[in-house]
Amino acid sequence: MSPSSRLLATAMANPRTALMLLAVLGAALGWSDAHAALPTVDLPEGIDGQQVSQGDWLGAMGGYFKKGVTILGLIMAAWGFLMVVSGAFTKWRAYSKGQAEFADLKEYMITGAIFTVFLILMVTYAFEVFS
C-alpha cells in the first residue's frame, strides 16, 4: 500500500482528517505568485532632504524614520490637545456643579491655551529640524 493511498484511506475513515486534507490540497494547489501590475513606490526624501537614490536602503530607512517621527509628533500634538480640551470640559463641569470657582476655570483655560501654543511650537520646531 502506497503512502498516498494510506493517507486517503485514513481520510475516508475520519471526516475531520478528510476536511483537513482538502484544505491542505486546496492551499497547495491555489498557491501561486501574484502577477499584478503594481505601481512603483516613490522613495522618501532622506534625512538631509535630498532624494534617495534607487538601491540606497540606508537612505530610505532614514527617510521612513523621518516620516515616522513626523507622524509621531502629530499624534502627540493631537493627544495633548485632546487632553487640554478634556480637562477643560471636566473643569467646566466642576464649575457648573459649584465645585470649582470661576478663577479656577480661568486659570485652567489660560494654562491650557499656553500649553497648546507651546506644544504646537515644539512640534513645528521638530519638523524644521528634520527638513
Please write the tens of the pLDDT for every residue from 86-120: 999 999 999 999 998 999 889 999 999 999 999 88
Tens digit of pLDDT for each residue in 32-53? 666 677 787 787 887 777 788 8
pTM above 0.75, yes or no: no
Please tell me what DSSP assigns to residue 100: S
- Domain residue spans in the chain? 1-31, 57-130
Concatenated DSSP letters for 39-94? PPPPPPB-TTSSBPPTT-HHHHHHHHHHHHHHHHHHHHHHHHHHHHHHHHHHHHHH
**CB–CB of 127/73 below 8 Å?**
yes
Asked if residue 77 lies in contact with residue 121, where contact means CB atoms within 8 angstroms, the answer is no
